[in-house]
Amino acid sequence: MSKTSPGPSLSQARLKSLKKLALKKYRDREGRFIIEGVRLCEEALAAGAEIETWIYAPSLLTRARGRALLDRIPPRHPALLRATSAQFKALTQVASPQGIACVVRKREQKALPSGISGLYLVLDRISDPGNMGTILRTAAWFGVDGVLAGPGTVENTHPAVMRASAGALFHLPAFENVRLEQWLVQQKERGFILIAADARDGTDVRELRSTGRDILVIGSEAGGIDPALENLMTIKTHIPGFGAGESLNAAVACAIVLYQLTHARQ
Amino acid sequence: MSKTSPGPSLSQARLKSLKKLALKKYRDREGRFIIEGVRLCEEALAAGAEIETWIYAPSLLTRARGRALLDRIPPRHPALLRATSAQFKALTQVASPQGIACVVRKREQKALPSGISGLYLVLDRISDPGNMGTILRTAAWFGVDGVLAGPGTVENTHPAVMRASAGALFHLPAFENVRLEQWLVQQKERGFILIAADARDGTDVRELRSTGRDILVIGSEAGGIDPALENLMTIKTHIPGFGAGESLNAAVACAIVLYQLTHARQ
């Protein structure tokens, strides 16, 4: 370590306790999670997330964007820790870590959305972290007003979800472990249209238009939407294919329907 | 193993040689690759792929769709091998393997497309296997006439690409290690429109219409399209966002532009 590298060294005991945040059990118990990468950490800073600890490795200092990020952290901050490359790799379990990570406190979950208009996304048992992260990133891009996930969906603070989301979670009202059926019934009574994305049935997505009160429901990669939820739907929609394959990837289907809905409300 | 399970046992020596197919070096040297999962194997069979060896584990027999697939393989076929659960897990390195895998011979790469019309997709250094597989699956769904990847793109037969592609490769004319600049120059001279997907510049994608001679170019997740290729482009297009984030995921952006192009040519 050079003399110009700020912060005390990361101890092995501290490393061991931070590594536990890779597991849901410890994230839930401690109410915090860890993110890795320059862009994700920048997003956390920009969004005013509550950052408890910063951990960096020497490789961060080799990139200008990395040095600039480090400069934004007060150098005598007690929670700025210097890791060796080996420690950092053990901490993040990423093939090519960017040398910066931070521990973020989970926000308290707010009350579920109960307004009378907007565009919401409901996720029923999305199990693949890459899909989940991509869906969150897409929802943020298209300005969705909130994302509500039921109990079977992979959690937002899973490291692979965070990576694929590119920091979208710091900008997006997101709700977990929601009792979807109950919320959907309430919203339907308020005049919302419930739209199910389906692999082959329903309205051609190109005919879909926003009503200003829309809820798009995306079902699990393997089995689609739970029948109890499916029964509540106002309409189904599908994306016509002109080639081969049984279906589109769930995150891709979600993106195309969101594109169509936000396009058509412009 | 029950007496009703067909095929000789997989030997440890054979397992060791099959495991090498997880590495590009051996896939290239041997001209074959391995796929896992009921759906992928069904697609390979349906598409008439040249299957050299089948490997199954007891768990396959617990699902009707798995048993049905096994029934379609001649039971005395010398290349049907029975693995233990532990062997199968070691072979496929998947968290929840479905108990069926097969070794497929790579097809000879055909001459590059040289027709005067169609919709083609060009991939410039797509590095994430999940993105690559999703792009191939989407391209097959929308009936793209061919996918051409340059040298820096993850290869089609990478196990994670195959999984994410859901078998699209068996239906899609796909070309690897293509000298993209040369091919794009030729196609442009033939009257093709070269369209670059960009994070923020260019025509609003909603105004994009197919000419019947279109080539969509998707650049790397980190850096976009190589400047040498970018200079050749006829137009750039971007997907307007109404919310937060620097960009969309590459596979999502690709899907939305393909949706728009195939929609607008209908």
Angstrom distances, CA of residue B209 to CA of A72, A259, B193, B213, B257: 45, 16, 11, 11, 10
Q: pLDDT at position B3, please?
A: 46
pLDDT (tens digit per residue) in A135-180: 999 999 999 999 999 999 999 999 999 999 999 999 999 999 999 9
pLDDT score, position A2 = 43
| % pLDDT > 90, chain A | 78
pLDDT, tens digit only, all 266 positions of chain B: 444 677 889 999 999 999 999 999 999 999 999 999 998 999 998 888 999 999 999 999 899 999 999 888 866 666 889 999 999 999 998 878 899 999 999 988 889 999 899 999 999 999 999 999 999 999 999 999 999 999 999 999 999 999 999 999 999 999 999 999 999 999 999 999 999 999 989 999 999 999 999 999 999 998 899 999 999 999 999 999 988 888 999 999 999 999 999 986 54
pLDDT number for residue A265 = 54
Edge-to-edge order in the sheet of strand B51-56: B32-36, B100-105, B51-56, B80-82
B86 and B170 both lie in a single domain: no
Structural domain includes residue B110: no
Both B173 and B234 in one domain: the answer is yes
What's the pLDDT at A87?
95
Domain boundary at A84, A105, A126, which?
A105
Same domain, A169 and A255: yes
pLDDT-based confidence at A46, cuts 50/70/90?
confident
Note the pLDDT of residue A264.
Answer: 67
Per the CB < 8 Å rule, is A140 touching B244?
yes
pLDDT of residue B7: 81
A252–chain B Cβ distance below 8 A for any pair:
yes
Other CB atoms within a 10 A radius of the CB of residue B108 amount to 6
Cβ distance A244 to B141 less than 8 Å, yes or no, reads yes
In a domain, A5, yes or no: no
**Residue A102 per-residue DSSP state:** E
Could you tell me if residue A110 is inside a domain?
Answer: no
In a domain, A112, yes or no: no
Per residue in A3-16, pLDDT (tens digit) is 467 788 999 999 99
Distance (Å) from the alpha carbon of B130 to chain A's nearest alpha carbon: 8
Enter the pTM of the model: 0.93
Which residue from A134, A172, A243 is facing B252, i.e. has the nearest CB?
A: A134
CATH of the domain at B81: 3.30.1330.30
User: Does residue B7 form part of some domain?
Assistant: no
- Residues B226 and B261 both lie in one domain: yes
Q: Which pLDDT tens digit goes with each residue over A106-142? A: 988 889 999 899 999 999 999 999 999 999 999 999 9
With beta carbons less than 8 A apart as the criterion, state whether B58 and B99 touch: yes
Residues B93 and B132 in one domain: no
On whether both B101 and B123 belong to a single domain, the answer is: no
Last residue of a domain, one of B72, B105, B138: B105
Chain center to CA of B138: 10
Query: Of A48, A79, A105, which one is at a domain's C-terminal end?
Result: A105
| Number of domains composing chain A | 2
Residues A185 and A92 in one domain: no
Rounded to whole angstroms, how far apart are CA atoms A250 and B239? 19
> Contact at 8 Å (CB) between A36 and A97?
yes
Mutation for A interface: B171, B242, B254, most A CBs within 10 A: B242
- Give the residue from A261, A209, A259 showing the smallest Cα distance to B260: A259
Helix, strand or coil, per DSSP, at residue A140: helix
3-state helix, strand, coil in chain A (%, to 5): 40, 20, 40
B chain contacts of residue A171, beta-carbon cutoff 8 Å? 243-245
| A249/B39 touch (CB, cutoff 8 Å), yes or no | no
Q: Is residue A57 part of a domain?
A: yes
| DSSP conformation letters of chain B | --TT--SPBPPHHHHHHHHGGGSHHHHHHHTEEEEESHHHHHHHHHTT--EEEEEE-GGGGGSHHHHHHHHTS-TT-TTEEE--HHHHHHHH--SS--SEEEEEEPPPPPPPP--SSEEEEEESS---HHHHHHHHHHHHHTT-SEEEE-TTSPPTTSHHHHHHHTTGGGTS-EE-S--HHHHHHHHHHTTPEEEEEESS-SEEGGG----SEEEEEE-BTTTBS-HHHHTT-SEEEE---SSS-S---HHHHHHHHHHHHHHHH-
Contacts of residue A265 in chain B, CB cutoff 8 Å? none
What ipTM was reported for this prediction?
0.92
Residues A194-221: tens digit of each pLDDT: 999 999 899 999 999 999 999 999 999 9
Domain shared by B122 and B244, yes or no: yes
Range of the domain at B75: 12-105
Compute the average pLDDT of residues A72-77: 71
Query: Do A123 and A248 fall into the same domain?
Result: yes
Residues B199 and B229 in one domain: yes
Whether A167 and A240 share a structural domain: yes
| A6 inside domain | no
Substitution target in B39, B94, B98, B138 with the highest count of A β-carbons within 10 Å is B138
Partner-chain contact A259 B263, CB within 8 Å: no
What CATH number corresponds to the domain at position A220?
Answer: 3.40.1280.10
A76 and A147: one domain?
Answer: no
List, in order, residues 6 or more apart from A220 with CB less than 8 Å away. Answer: A124, A125, A126, A127, A152, A250
Q: Judge whether B6 lies within some domain.
A: no
